[in-house]
Amino acid sequence: MKENIFQKVDIYISNLLAPEDKALTDVIKSLDDANIPQMSVSANHGKFLQILMICCNAKRVLELGTLGGYSTIWMARALPDNGKLITLEVNKSYADVARKNIENAGLTHKVEMKIGKAIDILANLISQNEEPFDFIIIDADKPPYLEYFEYAVKLSHQGTIIVCDNVVREGKILDIKSSDERLIGVQRLNESLKENKNVTATILQTVGVKEHDGMVIAVVNQN
């Protein structure tokens, strides 16, 4: 594929400021080897997540959607030694691949994987009075994005940053007549943010080595 200008510039930025080491390139290879779709965030987005974590002094991180552990590794690396990241994955074979990748990156002590439907695990975390998280990324299935976001707010404190990936979808988000459940899920979330007094939120469009997309960035307000 001929690289367009967004891809070329993204590669320039990543080479300069977000270079991948072997543990990260091994994740990409492990996905190909296991026939798992390449749906990880880009290197530059991994670095961006680290920067957001540093901005909110994140010691406790919650991730919805582990895949092969690529974003997990970026984020766990930005945690202090006593930090903790809980990552949720519904697909057991993906989780097995991720576990090996996280171990290969030397981060097992910081990462707890929970396998199952995110919606059930989130409900459990709340019923068990889980300590609030400082940083939450929602990057799992799209139809329940609004429900995931509502759970995320319940698992937050003032100043928690919540990121929701893939909410622009090459501009398809503008198609209000679409019957695509993923699109409808993301549209429900985006629309809800207009009235949500619990957070200050915006949506940042993204271009680069991945297709044109965008992410919600929300900060939890004082109650």
Binding mask 51-70 for ligand SAM (x = CB under 6 A): --------------xxx--x
User: Collapsing DSSP states into helix, strand and coil, what is residue 135?
Assistant: strand
Q: Which helix (H) or strand (E) holds 185?
A: helix 181-193
Nearest 5°: CA angle at 20, between 19 and 26? 170
Least Å from the CB of residue 218 to ligand SAM:
17
Min separation Cβ 163 and ligand SAM, Å: 10
Q: Which is nearer to ligand SAM, 84 or 117 (CB)?
A: 117
> Buried b vs exposed e over 67-94: b needs ≥16 C-beta within 10 Å?
bbbbbbbbbbbbbeeebbbbbbbbeeeb
Binders in 155-214 for ligand SAM, by CB under 6 A = none
For the chain, percent helix, then strand, then coil, each to nearest 5?
Answer: 45, 20, 35
Closest CA to 73 of 32, 114, 113, 132: 113
Contact between 39 and ligand SAM by CB under 6 A: the answer reads yes
DSSP 132: P
Residue number of the CB closest to ligand SAM reads 65
Nearer to ligand SAM, 130 or 141 (CB): 141
Rank residues 22 and 200 by Cβ distance to ligand SAM and give the closer one: 22
Q: Which residue in 40, 50, 101, 190 binds ligand SAM (CB under 6 A)?
A: 40
CA 147 to chain centre: 16
Nearer Cβ to ligand SAM, position 37 or 200?
37
How far, in Å, CA of 32 to CA of 135, rounded?
Answer: 29
Which member of 23, 41, 102, 220 binds ligand SAM (CB under 6 A)?
Answer: 41
**Least distance to ligand SAM from the beta carbon of 120, Å?**
8
Sign of the Cα pseudo-torsion (207, 210, 211, 216, in order): negative
Q: Does 48 bind ligand SAM (CB under 6 A)?
A: no
In whole angstroms, what is the distance from residue 8 CA to residue 1 CA?
A: 12
Q: Pick from 23, 79, 88, 152: which binds ligand SAM (CB under 6 A)?
A: 88
Applying the rule CB under 6 A, the residues between 123 and 142 that interact with ligand SAM are 139-141
In the complex, the residues that contact ligand SAM under the rule CB under 6 A are 39-41, 65-67, 70-71, 88-91, 94, 117-118, 139-141
